Amino acid sequence: MSSYVELPVDEMRERARAFLKQAQNRRTVRDFSDRPIPRDIIETCILAAGTAPNGAHRQPWRFVAVSDPEIKRAIRVAAEEEEKAFYEGRAPDDWLEALAPLGTDEKKPFLEGAPYLIVVFAESYAVEENGEKSKNYYVSESVGIATGILVTAIHEAGLVSLTHTPSPMGFLNEILGRPENERPFLILVVGYPAPDTTVPELRRKSLEEIVIFIE
């Protein structure tokens, strides 16, 4: 394989540590500045997401990158309607309790204020040029991995993001004109953090809590 370059083990270790440090510095942000960001950076990060390993190489993802203020506003209005129903009754009490430390509510100003919303769609099945349907495989796994790479690419570029999942999300197909074989997966809100924003104090699980070695 021509692209594989074996590194000395010490360098591997060093690079793994450096990457961990970068990853540990990523925080999800909920308050965004309205400062614009260049489209080419979004394009580059989406290309990185498109390198994800995926089922049968079907690449079952679509990214809709929205900076149009009217479309962002329409998404905000529709999402807030769903969120209101969620917070005012649809959500079970234990779920609301779990969310309390995050301080979230039905108001989603970032959907309008952040410079970019990247709406990630999962292609449940493909439609060939002749109109025939063909199956995709491991769609959620594939799109989940692609989204992880997208989040990481945006962080590496020096921007911040929020993974947002209004539920249900069917309104996104309507607003964005996407066909029925594309299922909304999540909205990635992207931009600069608002200057005075804070993030909750969170503890990440330790290695012992997340790994079991069998050796």
Q: Taking CB under 6 A as the rule, does residue 165 contact ligand IYR?
A: yes
Which of these, 183, 204, 95, lies nearest to 139 by C-alpha position? 183
Minimum gap (Å) between residue 26 Cβ and ligand IYR: 15
164 sits near ligand IYR (criterion: CB under 6 A): yes
Residue type, 140: S
Closer CB to ligand IYR, 100 or 211, in the complex? 100
| 107 makes contact with ligand IYR (CB under 6 A) | no
Task: Return the residue of 22, 51, 140, 167 that touches ligand IYR, per CB under 6 A.
Answer: 167
Smallest distance, Å, CB 86 to ligand IYR?
Answer: 6
Minimum separation from the CB atom of position 79 to ligand IYR (A): 8
Give phi and psi for 197, each to the nearest 5: -75, 150
Using the contact rule CB under 6 A, the part of the chain among 46-54, 55-63, 99-107, 131-139 near ligand IYR is 99-107
DSSP letter (8 states) at residue 55: G
Whether residue 168 has a cis bond before it, omega within 30° of 0: yes
Beta-carbon contacts of 33 under 8 Å, excluding residues fewer than 6 positions away, are: 113, 191, 192, 193, 194, 195
Instruction: Tell me the closest approach of the beta carbon of residue 83 to ligand IYR, in angstroms.
Output: 5
- Backbone φ, ψ for residue 100 (5° rounding): -50, -45
